[in-house]
Amino acid sequence: MKMLTRLGLLVAGFAVAAVAPAAAQAKLPAGVTPAMVEKGKTIFKGTGLCFACHGPEGKGAVGPNLTDGEWIHVKDGDYNGIVALVTKGVSATEAKTGKGPMPAKGGSQISDEDVKAVAAYVWSLSHS
């Protein structure tokens, strides 16, 4: 009987573990996966050049802080809005921080898929 109880706990534990990632994904915007967020983090800190203005942890430097939940150019930090902003950039006339413009894709040559991954990571910085 003890063996059946242990087996039942193991099975129940597996069921909880199997559901947990799905629950975590439900908190992300539609179409965004944890793998995208991780990929975006790598791009943010590397080839995307985002770190150069926003700092390696997104806390701001030349560009604004991306971790504080205060969104300057994207209403409520909406994921699709972040994708559009990174794709298009911020012109000098649109820049509201007094810190200057942001070129499209941060001046990097990242792909549209990479932009989506970076946006997923940026979204996660203030929505975790």
CATH architecture of 31-127: Orthogonal Bundle (1.10)
Q: Can you give the pLDDT at residue 100?
A: 77
The tens-digit pLDDT sequence of the chain (128 residues) is 444 444 444 444 443 333 334 434 449 999 999 999 999 999 999 999 999 999 999 999 888 999 998 988 898 899 999 999 999 999 988 887 677 799 999 999 999 999 999 999 999 999 97
Q: Can you give the pLDDT at residue 82?
A: 97
Q: Can you give the pLDDT at residue 103?
A: 96
So where are the chain's domains? Answer: 1-30, 31-127
Q: Can you give the pLDDT at residue 33?
A: 97
Where do runs of H (alpha helix) occur along 27-77? Answer: 34-44, 51-54
CB proximity list for 105: less than 8 A, separation 6 or greater? 48, 86, 87, 89, 115
Q: Are the C-beta atoms of 97 and 64 separated by less than 8 Å?
A: yes
Q: Can you give the pLDDT at residue 13?
A: 44
